Copies of this chain bind each other. A is one copy, B any other.
Amino acid sequence: MAYELYYWDSIQGRGEFVRLALEAAGADYVDVARQDMSALLSMLQSKTEPYLPFAPPFLKDGDIIVSHAANILMYLGPKIGLAPAQDQERYFANALQLSVTDFVKEVHDTHHPIASSLYYDDQKDAAKLRSADFLDNRLPKFMDYFERVLQRNPAGGHHMVGAALSYVDLSMFQIVEGLNYAFPKAMKGFAKTYPGLARLHGAVGKHKNVAAYLKSKRRIAFNEDGVFRHYPELDRQG
């Protein structure tokens, strides 16, 4: 039976980390809300569902429901051949994915530092301050860490964890894609400062299934409703 992915139909957002894994694996799945948004909403508003998700993304696999991107990937990874086999590596993959989660939240908060419920225009001044700190301090802190992990992989510096492609590699690809879209000026020296991550980004983009997906209509374009938004005034100036 096909996996059912539930996520908003007009943004990449947090669902994209799951979409990329399903696509890379060539897994049989339905992107439910892109055909019928009401199925997603009725789940969130269900009065009886005991395993209620807080928010999308969530995945249905037969009777099983799993929510939160990192949780879905931990569940799905071994089933679709995108997780390491050994226990230490599997928990490390999840730890890396949780750092990805934290990073994505910080990216979101560059444009929404005060409240998700307010428009960007109503928190633009705070957004400029937060973005400057993000580019000066937070982005380097996370990228230094991810580069170090990659370079130190005992199986060689081609994957974030283990000797084969995993969902963490796909998430790193998505992060670099998103940063290139949102902060093109700040990202200019990226490949020089983070050669391992830049090489991984290139390799994942050339992966047969990933490349086909990126060219397809199934890939939603980046836009200013998602997590990674291009507001030139938040990018590095000059």
A99 at the interface (CB under 8 A from B): yes
A198 at the interface (CB under 8 A from B): no
Q: Is B153 a contact of A95 with CB atoms below 8 Å?
A: no
Q: Is B95 a contact of A53 with CB atoms below 8 Å?
A: yes
Given contacts A64-B87, A64-B88, A92-B51, contact A129 B114 (CB under 8 A): yes
Q: Scoring A residues 128 to 159 as 1 if CB is less than 8 Å from chain B, else 0, what string do you get?
A: 01100100011000100100110011100000
A231 at the interface (CB under 8 A from B): no
Q: Is B52 a contact of A145 with CB atoms below 8 Å?
A: yes
Number of copies: 2
Q: A148: which B residues are within 8 A, CB to CB?
A: 52
Q: How many Å lie between the Cα of A87 and that of B65 in the bound state?
A: 10
Q: Is B114 a contact of A88 with CB atoms below 8 Å?
A: no
Give chain A's interface residue range (CB within 8 Å of chain B): 35 or more
Q: Scoring A residues 76 to 97 as 1 if CB is less than 8 Å from chain B, else 0, what string do you get?
A: 0000000000011001101100
Q: Is B105 a contact of A152 with CB atoms below 8 Å?
A: no
Q: Is A52 a contact of B149 with CB atoms below 8 Å?
A: yes
Q: How many Å lie between the Cα of A101 and that of B52 in the bound state?
A: 17
Q: Which residues in window 93-113 of A have CB below 8 A to B?
A: 94-95, 98-99, 101-102, 105, 109, 113
Most buried by B among A48, A54, A64, A88: A54
Given contacts A54-B95, A70-B98, A94-B68, contact A137 B115 (CB under 8 A): yes
Given contacts A68-B99, A71-B91, A95-B67, contact A54 B130 (CB under 8 A): no
Smallest CB separation, A121 vs chain B (Å)? 15
Q: Is B66 a contact of A91 with CB atoms below 8 Å?
A: yes
Q: Which residues in window 151-208 of A have CB below 8 A to B?
A: 152-154
Nearest 9 CB-CB pairings of A with B: A115-B133, A68-B98, A67-B95, A54-B99, A51-B92, A66-B91, A114-B129, A71-B94, A126-B126
5 A-B pairs with CB atoms under 8 Å apart are A50-B149, A64-B87, A66-B95, A70-B98, A105-B105
